[in-house]
Chains A and B, each alone.
Chain A
Amino acid sequence: GENVEQHPSTLSVQEGDSAVIKCTYSDSASNYFPWYKQELGKRPQLIIDIRSNVGEKKDQRIAVTLNKTAKHFSLHITETQPEDSAVYFCAASIGNQFYFGTGTSLTVIP
C-alpha cells in the first residue's frame, strides 16, 4: 500500500515566522492530498487540500505545494500565530483509502 512520510515530527517557530512541513508518498497513483490540523484532545479538521492536477494552492496564510515527479508535497504557514500551535497531518489518497503521515507537532512561541 501507500507509504506517507512526514517531517519534521516537531517544529518550533517564533510568532510571525513561517513554518514548513514536508511529506513524501510512495505510490504515484495517489491523486488527492489533504492536510489536517488537530488541536489537543480534538478531532482532526481539514485545513487545505490539493489534487494531483494542481501544483500549488493558497488559502490566506496557508499554502500547499505538490511535486508529482518527486512525489512530495508541503504545507506552508506564513505569519504564524499562537493559535496555529497544533499537530498537523498530511495524507495521500488512493481509491477508497487515505494514508496519513505520522504528524508534526507545531509550537508557535509568542
Chain B
Amino acid sequence: NAGVTQTPKFQVLKTGQSMTLQCAQDMNHEYMSWYRQDPGMGLRLIHYSVGAGITDQGEVPNGYNVSRSTTEDFPLRLLSAAPSQTSVYFCASSYLPGDSGNTIYFGEGSWLTVV
C-alpha cells in the first residue's frame, strides 16, 4: 500500500494562477479531507468527502474547490491563488467518517507558495 499520496510536494504560484493539488489513497477509505497548516494555527479543515460524489465544506473553504469522482482521488483546486493561500496542505483519509474513531492517515504534505 502506498497509503495517501499527494502531488506536487512543492509549488510556487503567481497571484491569480490556478492549480490542482492531487491526492490519492489506495486503502479504499470512504473519508477524505484536505487541511492547511499555518504557523501557530494548527491544522484547519478546508473540505472533506464521505464518499464518491459527496463533498462538504470545512472551516476554511473559501478559494478552494474539490470533487470526488472516485473513491481513490480527491483533488483540491485553487481557483485564483492569493498570497494568503501560502501554506502547507495535507490530504488525509480514513475508513469511516471522523467521529467513528478511526485513524486518519495523512499524506506527506504539499508546500505551496503564492507570490
Contacts and interface: CB of A to CB of B under 8 A. Distances in A.
Interface of A: 1, 4, 6, 9, 31-32, 34, 42-46, 49, 51, 89, 91, 93-103
Interface of B: 31, 33, 35, 40-45, 48, 50, 56, 58-59, 90, 97-101, 103-104, 106-109
A43 B90 contact: yes
A44 B101 contact: no
B75 to A, nearest CB: 18
A1 B59 contact: yes
B25 to A, nearest CB: 13
B90 A44 contact: yes
Nearest to B109: A43
A93 B98 contact: yes
8 contacts: A4-B42, A32-B101, A42-B109, A43-B106, A44-B90, A97-B98, A98-B43, A98-B98
Given A43-B106, A43-B107, 12 more contacts: A1-B59, A6-B42, A9-B40, A31-B101, A42-B108, A45-B106, A46-B103, A89-B42, A95-B99, A96-B98, A98-B43, A102-B42
A102 B40 contact: yes
Contact of A96 (B42, B44, B56, B107): B56
A89 B108 CA distance: 16
Contacts of A45: 106
Contact of A93 (B40, B56, B99): B99
Contact of B48 (A91, A97, A102): A97
Contact of B101 (A1, A9, A49): A49
